Amino acid sequence: MNRFYLLLIFIVFVFSRQAFAQVKFGIKAGGNLSTIKFDIDKSYGTAYVSKFKGGFHVGIITDISLLENTLSLQPALLYSKKGCSIDYEKTMEEFFKYYGLNLDVSNYKGYFVINYNYIEVPINFVYKKSGFQILAGPYFVIGLSGSSKQDFSYEVFGKEYDSEDFFDKKSYTLKPVFGKFEYDELEMYLDKFNTDGLFRAFDFGINFGVGYQLNKVLFNVNYSLGLVNCVPKFTDETIPVIDIRKNRVLNFSVSYFFN
């Protein structure tokens, strides 16, 4: 939680009018194309094959001039929906290959999605020239809630399988957690939070992108590279971390500045 308080202090600092001479305030909204990069220790099997899913972000943005008409700092405070869609057809094909099985998946229908809902604070340094902008900087997020939903079917050698063969229900709730937890007490944590699964509440990474500003309106295309594993840590460090999941987001946004 100390990192969370430091983040709040930093937000107050960068949003302060007294911190810099020229400050502009506005609103920002746009769409997310998000996915999760899955990696797994190959001795334990194969990872999910992911693809992009749609989402959105909305919030407030500030432009703090550092060098007039050339360089600025652009922090924002956003609600952002991230996650991914699982390509379960390719996931099963990779699973069969791993075990040396020459099986093809056919007639796949349905969906399998993972959703993470965050409060996000991107802090971008922006170089400006003739309306065009190049930006880069860190971002920090705090998880609010999450879920996974699945309803699919496919065939292997003419036999049909569906999501109910692998999951006991069609949707699961995911709870964000700070810090580490005891592996042996996972069920206790799930009961305590009244949830089906956990994900790490704190994430950070780097942004880079381009933009163009026309009067008070700013158009942006941005890519976010998550650096933190979304899977929570265990207190027992002798337990191997075999599942790594990191956020990847391509977003398109429009900002309107009031001054």
Determine the pLDDT at residue 181: 73
Tens digit of each residue's pLDDT (9 = 90 or more) over 216-248: 999 999 999 999 999 888 777 666 677 899 999
Q: Which residue has the tokens 């194969």?
A: 46
Query: What is the reported pTM?
Result: 0.84
Q: Helix, strand or coil for residue 178? A: coil
Q: Which residue has the tokens 């100390």?
A: 2
Main-chain dihedrals φ then ψ at residue 253, nearest 5 degrees: -140, 160
Determine the pLDDT at residue 106: 86
Determine the pLDDT at residue 100: 85
Question: How far is 148 from 170, CA to CA, in rounded Å?
Answer: 8
Let me know: does 27 contact 256? Beta carbons within 8 Å: yes
Determine the pLDDT at residue 9: 63
Do strands 171-177 and 197-200 pair parallel, antiparallel, or not at all (unpaired)? Answer: parallel
Determine the pLDDT at residue 235: 74
Determine the pLDDT at residue 104: 83
Residues of the chain short of pLDDT 70, as ranges, are: 1-21, 183, 185, 193, 237-240
Main-chain dihedrals φ then ψ at residue 229, nearest 5 degrees: -70, 125
